[in-house]
Amino acid sequence: MANGKPSSPSYPALPQHELRRLAVAANCDPRSIVRYLREGPMVSTTVARIEVALRACGYDRYVRDESSPFAPLGEQVKRREQA
């Protein structure tokens, strides 16, 4: 991310102050929020905290869906069991 601008078209453009607010709510680093929004691999507990923060701050539309390849491990196991 250069100059606060997204480097990927799928990355939602959130201002830096919103990234910091989400990071405080999720008790993580703002870079973790960026990694989540870019759908990078993350620890499931961090994903869960970020998703709770996104919902609490009114960003429900950015919560990963269960079809994401980087969905929390529990969701991956459910998909495997259904297959």
What are the pLDDT digits (tens) for 13-66? 789 999 999 999 999 999 999 999 988 888 889 999 999 999 999 998 888 876
* pLDDT for the residue numbered 6: 46
76 or 46: which carries more pLDDT confidence?
Answer: 46
- Give the separation between CA 80 and CA 31, rounded to whole angstroms: 30
- Give the separation between CA 42 and CA 35, rounded to whole angstroms: 8
Q: Residue 11 above 80 pLDDT?
A: no
6 or 63: which carries more pLDDT confidence?
Answer: 63
Question: 4: which residues sit within 8 A by CB, 6+ positions away?
Answer: 15, 16
- Give the separation between CA 22 and CA 49, rounded to whole angstroms: 10
* pLDDT for the residue numbered 50: 94
- Give the separation between CA 58 and CA 45, rounded to whole angstroms: 20
